Amino acid sequence: MSSYVLLANFTDQGIRNIKEAPKRRAAARELAGKFGVQVKSSQLAMGAFDLIIQAEAADDADIAKYVLSLASRGNVRTTTIKVFPEADFDKILAAVA
């Protein structure tokens, strides 16, 4: 499984209906499952982003399908970052010439 960090901001629609956020969060987790994505955690954030979501997926295509489907609902816009655990980072460094 690959790891991803989704940095999200509420859209105007998302903030107008902010009280529905707990239901939307549950629906987003359910949607993730349809694409084989596991949402590991989600946090409300302060600063440049409103939400930080940690997720895992078998490949980039699965996370792309999830993020596009999530964004199509109109409540958040996301920036997706693929991240590597320390063990993978060390393997990558070992291969650097």
pLDDT tens for 2-61 read: 999 999 999 999 999 999 999 999 999 999 999 999 999 999 999 999 999 999 999 999
Instruction: Give the residue extent of every domain in the chain.
Output: 2-94
Q: Which of 38, 37, 35, 47 is nearest to 8 (CA)?
A: 47
Q: Which pLDDT belongs to residue 12? A: 97
Q: Which pLDDT belongs to residue 97? A: 83
Give per-residue pLDDT as tens, 50-95: 999 999 999 999 999 999 999 999 999 999 999 999 999 999 999 9
Q: Which pLDDT belongs to residue 89? A: 94
Give the Cα separation of 83 and 48 in Å (integer).
19
**Residue 69: what residue type?**
S
Please state the length of the chain.
Answer: 97
Q: Which of 64, 27, 57 is nearest to 40 (CA)?
A: 57
Please state which CATH number belongs to domain 2-94. Answer: 3.30.70.920
Q: How far is CA 94 from the centre of its chain?
A: 29
